[in-house]
Amino acid sequence: MSYQHPIWKDADHPPVPVAADTVEATYVCDFCTDPKILFVYATTQRILIQVDTAHGAVVRDYGRRWSACVGCAALVEARNLAGLLDRILTHGMAFAAEVVAHLADMLRQVLTRLRPGRALTADGQWDALPLPATTLPKVRDRLAALIAGEIRLPFGLSHDPVRTSLAAGLAYSRLYWIDNQFTVLTRNAARVLPRMGFVPGDLPAAHGFVAWAQPVDARRRCVAASWNSHGDAVQLVGYRSIGDGLAPGPLQQLRGEVGWLIPAFAVTLRPGQPVTATHPAAALLTTWRLIRQRLAETTPAKVDRSISRAYRRTRRPEPEVALLRIRGTRSTSISTRHASTSGGTEHEYRWWVTPHWRHQWVGQGRALRDWIVVRPHLRGPRDKPIRATTTVRVLGALPPRPDAPGQASADGQ
């Protein structure tokens, strides 16, 4: 067996093979080498090209799988050999005549041996484009059409029962948009999320779609997610954005054919299933927990007028988007205010107070004492950042109600 560099690459050293699982792969278009790939095509048989070299004839095996960017995919769909070859030559270096002939032969075989249909790939190098809250209904509807359509999906989502269920759940999903500060809080907490078991009661709705103001995962790709309930099991799909950097014409075509989002991961959670900081759904579970702990306040977001009119024309109910922000900070504690006015050290951050029980005087004339629940809340100066490490502690359940008085009620820095 022997190894060679690609024919378009000038190399000053012998090829050294490296195991594929030991390198961080960067995927590019198999036609023009654009890293913003989106589609994958397959041929009915392997593409084999014989090339004459100084050491004799060599047969190059290009396989059956062909990744394509948006521009090349349009030419592949049109079976435009001349246009595809011209795009390759325009985006690459100056090729010798024999290399151009080699490319033309390869492309001719690919276009004549394509299998019907195409698949989406999540391996493209797209920069994240967070979604405005006002556009969520349109984005959700286009995503549901993509899921229910004919383009093959990654992560096992192409099976008909899965597609049907996921598309139906999206159509009836409740829409949430997480503002920037809440998103930063979620991302920081998810990074250090302790091991937690999934609880169906965490769900703010049976079917939902959430978009964050910026990416929330470690790879800085995931900007949205959906969930779909099936009894006790919940199907979760994370999404990444596409379209960044495209010219207006290709971008408009992309929005019509695919939309704004493509799947980035898909998992199913069942009651008690553990989720840690490395789980794909860590940010979504953290978002649910923060909502459940009443750490967020919800206000309706105005939807674009054009979207509202489109809904009315089709006699659909007016779309609603719930905009989530961190609940307003409690007044700064007495000790903090005293420190700032008496020359003491002023806190440089805000912190979350964990949920706890407080033994307090109640009733007429405050003659009785009883345990009351103190909900999670923020302490510290309003204009200071939130200390992320204190957020994890508010994600857990309320501790058991004490049996007897005497438990201290601390502010929990």
Distance CA 385, CA 402 (A): 33
Mean of pLDDT over the chain: 82
**Residues forming a β-bridge with 166:** none
pLDDT category of residue 329 using cuts at 50, 70 and 90: very low
What is the pLDDT at residue 373? 63
385-403 burial, b at 16+ Cβ within 10 Å, e below that, comes to: ebbbebbbbbbeeeeeeee
Tokens of 120: 């989406």
User: Which two structure tokens, joined as six digits, stand for 282?
Assistant: 């860590």
Distance CA 140, CA 172 (A): 10
Cβ atoms 204, 288 nearer than 8 A: yes
CA separation for the pair 114, 118 (Å, rounded): 9
pTM of structure: 0.77
Tokens matching residue 219: 């790879």
Q: Please, what is the Cα angle at 373 between 203 and 348, to 5 degrees?
A: 85
Find how far residue 402's CA is from the centre of its chain.
Answer: 41
Residue 377 — very low, low, confident or very high, per pLDDT cuts 50/70/90?
A: low
Residue 376 CA to residue 353 CA, distance in Å, equals 5
DSSP secondary-structure letter at 329? Answer: P
Decide if pLDDT at 333 tops 50. Answer: no
Using alpha carbons, select from 326, 338, 335 the residue that is nearest to residue 377: 326
What pLDDT score does 85 carry? 93
pLDDT value at residue 413: 44
How many Cβ atoms are within 10 Å of 227's Cβ, its own excluded?
A: 23
Q: Is 237 helix (H, G, I), strand (E, B) or coil?
A: strand
Strand order in the sheet with 37-42: 65-69, 37-42, 119-120
* Residue range 224-270, pLDDT digits in tens: 999 999 888 999 999 999 999 999 999 999 999 999 999 999 999 99
For 71-111, the pLDDT digits (tens) are 999 999 999 999 999 998 888 767 778 888 888 999 999 99
- Residue 257's nearest CA partner among 150, 173, 162 is 150
- Range with lowest mean pLDDT among 110-124, 204-218, 329-343: 329-343
* 311 vs 212, higher pLDDT: 212
Which segments of 192-333 does DSSP mark as H helices, in order? 248-257, 282-292, 305-313
Burial class (CB in 10 A: 0-12, 13-18, 19+), 132: middle
Higher confidence at residue 325 or residue 141? 141
Q: Which of 313, 325, 291, 318 lies closest to 302 in space, CA to CA?
A: 318
Residues 6+ apart with CB under 8 A from 367: 361
Unique residue bearing structure tokens 């508010």? 394
Per the model's pLDDT, the better-predicted residue between 377 and 117 turns out to be 117
Residue where the block lists tokens 């965490």: 202
Summarize the confidence of residues 49-75 as an average pLDDT: 86
CA–CA separation, 156 vs 236, rounded Å? 12
Question: What is the band of 412 on the pLDDT scale with cuts at 50, 70, 90?
Answer: very low
Cβ–Cβ < 8 Å for 175, 209: yes
Residue whose C-alpha is closest to residue 281's, from 235, 315, 332? 235
Question: pLDDT of 157-201, one tens digit each?
Answer: 999 999 999 999 998 899 999 988 888 888 888 888 888 888 888
Instruction: Please count the residues of the chain.
Output: 413
DSSP string for residues in 21-72: GGS------TTT--S-EEEEEEBSS--EEEEEETTEEEEEE--SEEEEEHHH
pLDDT band at 10 (very low <50, low <70, confident <90, very high): low
Taking alpha carbons only, the member of 162, 288, 275 closest to residue 225 is: 288
- Percent of the chain past pLDDT 90, that is, above it, reads 43
Which range is least confidently modeled, 23-37, 78-92, 225-239, 328-342? 328-342
49: Cβ–Cβ under 8 A, 6 or more apart, which residues?
A: 59, 60, 62, 102, 105, 106, 109
| Angle, alpha carbons 112-118-123 (nearest 5°) | 120
